[in-house]
Amino acid sequence: MNNNEKKALFSFLSIYVGSTILLISVLLYIYYDKELKSVADSCNMEMSNASMHIKSDILNSYMKHKKYIPKKFKNDEIRYALYDKDKKVIYSYIDDAKLVDFNKLAIYERSDYNYYITKLDEKMIPVKYIVIETCIGIQNKNNLKVYVVIALLLSGIFIGFIGYLLSKILLKPVREKVEHMDKFIKDSAHELNTPLTVLMTSTSMLKNGKNPDKMIKYILSSSKQVSQIYNDIHFSAFNEMNDDVFEEFNLKDLVKDSVEYFNDISVTKEITINDILDDCYIIMDKTKTQKVVNNLISNAIKYSHNNSIINVFLKDNIFSIQDFGIGISKLEQKDIFKRYKRGSNIEGGFGIGLDIVKRIADEHKLNLEIRSELNLGTTFYVDFSSIINNSIGHKRKEKR
């Protein structure tokens, strides 16, 4: 991961995780505030019930003229103390009974305990104050704080993990695109280097008067290769902005012109291009049709051996091109039409030619097939039957 990707990843995670944790923090605070009131109400209810129970026992004892005997609660977390009218301790289960603050409200909270003070107004009873002490409220409040903090931490970890996965998923296609573009630029430079080198060498030798006829052929071949590469790059990059211009024409004438054009290019590998062509009248954008034919012929030349032949056929509305080159494995045939996919890194090319063919074929619903065997050669088939103009073909045949 380069510095720009790390910076983008960090920026995305900072914004995503920060904003999400802020939202969760607000929701947890609302939950905490609500639960805090619920904890306080529950604690007060328990102390009130305990106080009422003690008060009831005291009143019952004195009504029956019996001495009240204090008893511990079954719940050790709730303790109490009894005080007289001067707020002196009569009996206490509270460790620090003298520290009870009677100046505060009937319900108050200290650092470790909650207190609930009840006053008895019976004149005959020496007990005037009942003080309930419990740590339940404080414990529940602390537990609630721990729960909220743990929930926030776990949410942060989970959100950070999800954010990291999302960022990796989002950056993956961008990274692949950058890698493809980087590879494309390098391959384009390499692809252009060969015809340019031949062009410069041939020009230099022509200037010195060496083999002028042969050098002119090489210059013409190299110029056409550069032109073909430029046209492919331009079409691949800017085709989306161009509108199709449909016209009626004979595919045979277009293929014938392409064969003649590439004969000048194939001369550098001493490849012979044979053609057997029948009339085929179609309605299609001529530029795109030319791209299909040219890229298939160009591809055949790249992956053919030196001193070999290429057969070009147009019969029964099917255009096919056969080479006897390196061939394509069954596995590679599945991905051969993908952009930047190349059959062999040794043979040059940068993987957009067949992608262009596939895109045009899909756009015009042309059936595109490939048959190939390693080290034996490859044949591409393009069926133009879906866009054939039978009326034009019939009229031309009648004139003949």
Residue 276 near residue 311, CB atoms below 8 Å = yes
Is residue 363 pLDDT above 50, yes or no?
yes
Quote the tokens at residue 257: 């012109």
What is the rounded CA–CA span in Å between residue 381 and residue 300?
13
Of residues 317, 312, 316, 330, the one with CA closest to residue 380: 312
Is residue 293 pLDDT above 60, yes or no?
yes
pLDDT band at 394 (very low <50, low <70, confident <90, very high): very low
Quote the tokens at residue 372: 């190939």
pTM: 0.51
Stretch among 176-185, 263-272, 318-327, 340-349 having the lowest mean pLDDT? 340-349
Is residue 241 pLDDT above 50, yes or no?
no
Q: What is the pLDDT of residue 188?
A: 64
What is the rounded CA–CA span in Å between residue 370 and residue 332?
11
Is residue 250 pLDDT above 70, yes or no?
yes
Is residue 243 pLDDT above 70, yes or no?
no
Q: What is the pLDDT of residue 194?
A: 58
User: What does the domain layout of the chain look like in residue ranges?
Assistant: 212-399
Alpha helix segments (H runs only) across 75-211: 136-207
pLDDT band at 351 (very low <50, low <70, confident <90, very high): low
Q: What is the pLDDT of residue 137?
A: 86
**Segment 137-177, tens digit of pLDDT:** 888 888 999 999 999 999 989 988 888 888 878 777 777 77
Is residue 210 pLDDT above 80, yes or no?
no
- The radius of gyration computed from the CA coordinates of the chain, to the nearest angstrom, equals 45
Amino acid at 373: E
**Segment 305-339, tens digit of pLDDT:** 999 999 999 999 999 999 999 888 888 887 787 75
Of residues 390, 141, 168, 180, the one with CA closest to residue 283: 390
What is the rounded CA–CA span in Å between residue 218 and residue 224?
10
The CATH code for residues 212-399 is 3.30.565.10
Q: Tell me which range, 1-10, 57-66, 191-200, is most confidently predicted by mean pLDDT.
A: 57-66
Quote the tokens at residue 312: 């070009």
pLDDT band at 382 (very low <50, low <70, confident <90, very high): very high
What is the rounded CA–CA span in Å between residue 139 and residue 383?
81
Residue 238: partners with Cβ closer than 8 Å, 6 or more residues away: none
Residue 219 near residue 200, CB atoms below 8 Å = no
